[in-house]
Amino acid sequence: MNEELIEREWQALISQYAEALPVLQGLIDTHRVALASSFYDHMLGNPDSSPYLSHEQVRNQLSGSLQRWLVNVFAAVDSAQIHECIQLQQHVGKVHARIEVPISLVLRGARQLKTHLSRLLMAGDLHAHAQHAATRLACQLIDLTMEIMSQAYSLSHERNSRAEEAYRLFSVSQNLGAEKERQRGALLDWENQLMYALAMGQKASHLPRLSNSEFGLWFRHKASHAFQGSPESTSILTCIRAIDSQLDALRAQEEAGQQTIEAVDLLRQTREQTRSIRFLLDSLFEQANDLEAGRDALTRLLNRKFLPVVMSKEVLYSRQNGHGFAVLLIDVDHFKQINDTYGHEAGDQALQQIAGLLTSNTRGGDYAFRHGGEEFLLILVDIEAERALHVAEGLRQRIAAEPLRIGNELIRLTVSIGVAAYDGHPDYQRLLRRADQALYQAKREGRNRSVLLQE
């Protein structure tokens, strides 16, 4: 975007309709509450808008934000103010792309604002020429802000799409042989747990659901995304749902005092379906290519370039299915001292050791990122706040219990962890900021601790 050109166009509009500007500023100052109210009443009446305006906090914040936006747009007259206002439009466009608000809804909202402003101007006591000038200025200035937003939206959306495609190719393509055997083993473990539970006559309420197993979490949150659109992926998800439906039916019959499904029949049907899953899984792995881009070279964890893709995917998954997730932001305590005292090679070894502990002590469906420097980030799927804090504490204790050996010396490693649970807000950046605030609190309170940021 040529910002200088945009600034000149903005300044030219202000100069061309200089006499109309105070009229609009006064009108907006008087009617900004009514403008925001009618805007959101109109948007909430559109079913396409409900996914983006349903969150209570969003509704509470947006009315004030729109009022400030209106005031700022029509108050920008000098070069510095116009430059700042252009930066604001670009930021709004990027946020809309991040939370995937369709650009058509943004343009619909702009049309509603222009219509309402025009009606207010027509209802005033302005003579025809002044009314026409004020209407032209209002419409052209709003159109200009929409142009800036739309361009920022398109650029950000294009970057997100490229990252999305790269992640889909990458997400399960690392160490294919090892991952394939790991997930086949996880599926077999679940099947053995079910067989044992049935053999021991356990109640149906204690039978393990496949979707909540190590394999189920991995497939629902990672593999199904990587192989999205493939018939094998769709078939595996269908098998998982069918198996869990049979277990749910058995639970319902048990609660009703009925027993029409025999354990032997359930086991036979389940074994047939898991055999199909294994066959389909092998086919999926055969289709993948071995890609290396996307792993952090030092720790072998995910590169943070995929964080926006994963966060957006988990937000969407949570809103569609009602499952919570949480973010753990992890910082190595006094890392600079390790580098200064023992050298950067020791620092690298510390990061590698912690990365290995994070990988080996999280589930297949969770995500581990090298967030930068001595920071790591975990996304824990299908989990609530208190449980996420419990996991964080377990990781912290596990890391503290594994000293790093440098020559003949043992170095105690500790970490501070900030925990934040998803609360339904569509913008994942808010969740990341809350995790960062929790981490800051953990460090401020003495380090080597986990803090859950409460609402």
What residue ranges define each of the domains in the chain, with the CATH number in brackets?
3-169 (1.10.490.10), 176-287 (no CATH), 302-452 (3.30.70.270)
Q: What angle do CA 62, 111, 40 make, to 5 degrees?
A: 30
Question: What is the C-alpha separation between 390 and 253, in angstroms, rounded?
Answer: 34
Q: Which amino acid is at 214?
A: E
Q: What angle do CA 373, 379, 383 make, to 5 degrees?
A: 150
* Contact present, 345 and 338 (Cβ < 8 Å): no
Q: Can you give the pTM of this predicted structure?
A: 0.58
User: Residue holding tokens 């749902």?
Assistant: 241
Reply yes or no on whether the pLDDT at 292 is more than 50: no
Average pLDDT in the chain: 85
* Contact present, 369 and 376 (Cβ < 8 Å): yes
Reply yes or no on whether the pLDDT at 174 is more than 70: no
pLDDT confidence of 1, banded at 50, 70, 90?
Answer: low
Question: What is the C-alpha separation between 402 and 24, in angstroms, rounded?
Answer: 66
Q: What is the pLDDT of residue 289?
A: 46
* Contact present, 108 and 167 (Cβ < 8 Å): no
Nearest to 49 by CA among 114, 92, 99: 99
Structure tokens at 162: 């490229």
Q: What is the pLDDT of residue 420?
A: 96
Question: What is the C-alpha separation between 217 and 126, in angstroms, rounded?
Answer: 64
Report the relative pairing of strands 409-411 and 404-406 from DSSP bridges.
Answer: antiparallel
118-132, 167-181, 254-268, 418-432: segment of lowest average pLDDT: 167-181
Name the H helices within 3-55.
Answer: 3-16, 21-44, 50-53
Question: What is the C-alpha separation between 193 and 198, in angstroms, rounded?
Answer: 9
pLDDT confidence of 42, banded at 50, 70, 90?
Answer: confident
Q: SS3 for 84? A: helix
DSSP code, position 306: G
